[in-house]
Amino acid sequence: MDKLSIEELNQFLDDLFDKFGRIELNRSIILEALYQRIYDNGKFYRKMIKTDTEYIFEKYLLKYMIELMKKILTGAKIEDKEREYAIYFYASSQVTLIRK
User: What pTM was estimated for this model as a whole?
Assistant: 0.65
For the chain, the domains span: 6-99
* Average pLDDT for 11-24: 65
Alpha-carbon distance of 79 to 100, in angstroms, equals: 31
25 has a pLDDT exceeding 80: no
Radius of gyration over every alpha carbon of the chain, rounded to an integer in angstroms: 14
> Buried (b) or exposed (e) across 6-35, using 16+ Cβ within 10 A?
eeebeeebeebbeebeeeeebeebbbebbe
Residue 100 has pLDDT above 90, yes or no: no
Q: What is the mean pLDDT of the chain?
A: 77
Distance CA 23, CA 36 (A): 19
Report pLDDT digits (tens) over 26-67.
567 777 877 888 888 888 888 888 887 777 778 888 888 888
